Structure formats: C-alpha cells, structure tokens
Amino acid sequence: MNFWQELNNKKKPFFVVAPMADVTDPAFRLLISKYSKPDVMWTEFVSANGLNSPGREALKRDLAFSEVERPIVAQLFGANPTNMQAAAKLCAELGFDGIDINMGCPDKTIEKQGAGACMIKSPEVAGSVINAVKLGIKDAGKDIPISVKTRLGYNNVDFDWIGFLLKQDIATLTVHARTRKDLSKVPANWDYIKEIVKLRDQIAPNTLIIGNGDVVSLEEGKEKAKQSGVDGVMVGRALFGNPWFFDESREVVATLPRRAPWILRKMPFIKKFFETKRKASVSKIKPITIEERLSVMVEHCELYEKMLGDIKSFNIIKKHMNAYVTGFSGAKELRIALMERANNASEVKAIVDKFLTLR
C-alpha cells in the first residue's frame, strides 16, 4: 500500500498543495508547513531536460525539501522519455514520497517542448513518458507512486484522454476542471470532475482522483468533494497570502472598508447584517490580525532571500506580498510602498514597521 492509499483510508477528502511555478518553492513550502500543514505537499514543476543539462545543480535547489514537508511529491515536466527516466531516478534517490508528471500546464514555452498540456494531443508520448518515470524509479531501487496532473482536455472536454490516463496504472490523477483553451478565463466546472470519478470507477477503481480549480476555502473544498465524489482536493491560488489556509481554527478576515459602498450607507440594515455575520464567523475561530499577517509576510521574504536569494530575483516574491497586503485600511498605500521601494527582506521589514507604527 502506497502513501496515497494510506492517506485515503484515514481521511476523505484530503487536501493537497498545487504545484505552481515560482510559488511552491522551498521557502513557501516551509512556511505553509509551519502554519497549516496540508495532507500532501507538491514542489513547483521542474524541467526534466534541465535536470539533464549543465544547469542541473541550480534546478536541484527547487527540489530541496525538509522532513516537515512530508509526504511530498516532486513534479516533473518533459516530453523526452530518456530525460524523464533520469530525472525520475534522481527524484527517487533524493527521497521524495512520490513523483507527479505535469500534463496540463498551458504555458507556451512548456508546450513548445511537447510537454505540459501539449501531451493531451499526444497520448502516445504521454504513455512513453509515464513508462519512463516508472523505469527511473525502478533504476533508483525505489518503489514510490506515480501520479499525473492534467486538464479536462485541450480545446474541448476529452474523456478519451482521461480514460487513457486511467489505464496507465497510476496511483493518483489530478484533474484541473478546465480545458487548455479555457486557461483561467472561465469558472472551473466540477460537474465534469463528477463524471471523471464515475469513469475511474469503471476503468481503474484503485486510482485516486483529486479535483482542482477555484477552491477558495476548506469548507468549499469539502462541499465540492462531496458533490463530485473525489478523494482529494488540490488548492492553488487561495494560498497566496494565506499560509493558514489548512488550519480550520484560523481565518484571514477582511475588515469592513472605511468608505463602505453606497448600499451600506443607504441601507443600514444591510451593514448590520454584514457585521453580525462577520461576528458570528469570527466567534468560531481565532482571527488573524493585520500585525500577524504582515509579520508572516516579512518572515516569508526572509526565508525566500535566505534559501533562494542567490539564484532568484526578489521580484518573484512580490506576488505573495500583494496577497498579504489586502482587505484592511491603508493596504493600498502599503502595497504601493512595497512594490516601489522594497528590493530585499530588510527593506520590506522597515516599510512594514513604519506602517504599523503609524497605524
């Protein structure tokens, strides 16, 4: 029994972190593990071609992980079976609990390599890559599970593609509830995920299905899992600025704007309803204060600089800073100051300290 099956026997639905380029790096994963550990952690995707090139050592930094992150899955992308086999061998030797193959990324540079979502159009290549990863794990003398992350289809929903993957003897299949053509321009359609679960039951009942797309809270994830029948739920963008996401006792609560919308001014009973709902919600949890959010943001920046500052631009982490600084009075001004003047963790801390002093 692999760790996926053991997890599924203990908890359903389980929650996992989505692999996101320049997001789920070692610093972000360490921070998430500290404040609200998910059931399974994922690395950002790593190029198998790159791991077989002179740039191998720098890319291996993306695969660095700590024991507190377990179970952790390494995600690889690539269309060259030889390179995928070698990369899988490396990941298995590094001690990962599982290996995932990216067959859904819509990035054009990835697709030009025949990888990511491009594989939806080339099942024969996808099959070769899956077999190569299996061989790589075997070469390492390991026995860890393989999973695949994909989309509903390329231009249209493609159940033949999903069926093909289910026949490949993989432990887990994650499906983003959009097509490649959809990108993120339309809402995720979990009705199709429900159909995929039924297809799984017919073709590969032992393969676990993870649903992905537009999950903004644990409650919503549980509801989507209940309606669709998935075994697990993958969370992505909702983690930005919210490393407490997986802790049911904590919640980031936005305050009522100082300049409330006109409807709140014209209809006081609506404002009262809003505040009552908020108080009822807060009474069940320990709210995360603005000071705590900003303190953790500074901690995130310091971790990033310490772990990756010598190989990655500090600007990459600003997407996280934008997410931390929202939903409170003065947030806009603080965001502008951070975007324009913060070029390292020390400058972030100085700007935040000044902001909190003047509040």
Q: What is the pLDDT of residues 237-294, one digit of tens each?
A: 999 999 999 999 887 755 444 444 444 444 444 344 344 444 444 456 788 999 999 9
Residue whose token pair is 């609990």: 97
Query: Each residue of 103-127: pLDDT tens digit?
Result: 999 999 999 999 999 999 999 999 9
Stretch 198-221: mean pLDDT, rounded?
A: 97
Rg of the Cα trace of the chain? 21
Q: What confidence category does residue 211 fall into, taking pLDDT thresholds of 50, 70 and 90?
A: very high
Stretch 346-359: mean pLDDT, rounded?
A: 96
- All structural domains of the chain with their residue ranges: 3-239, 253-286, 289-358
Residue 88 structure tokens: 């899988």
Give yes or no for a contact between 169 and 145, defined as CB atoms under 8 angstroms apart. no
SS3 207: coil
Torsion angle, CA of 148/152/155/161, rounded to 10 degrees?
Answer: 60
Q: What confidence category does residue 359 fall into, taking pLDDT thresholds of 50, 70 and 90?
A: confident
Domain 3-239 has CATH 3.20.20.70: yes
Cα 118 to Cα 112, 148, 192, distances in angstroms: 8, 14, 20
* pLDDT confidence of residue 85: 98
Residue whose token pair is 């006109």: 262
Active centre residues (catalytic)? 105
Give yes or no for a contact between 170 and 3, defined as CB atoms under 8 angstroms apart. no
Quick check: bond before 13 cis, omega within 30?
A: yes
| Mean pLDDT score of the chain | 91
Asked whether the CA dihedral 42, 47, 52, 57 is positive or negative, the reply is negative
Query: Each residue of 127-178: pLDDT tens digit?
Result: 999 999 999 999 999 999 999 999 999 999 999 999 999 999 999 999 999 9
Is residue 294 within a helix (H) or strand (E), and if so which, with residue range? helix 290-308
* pLDDT confidence of residue 55: 85
167, 165, 138, 168: which is closest to 153 by C-alpha?
A: 165
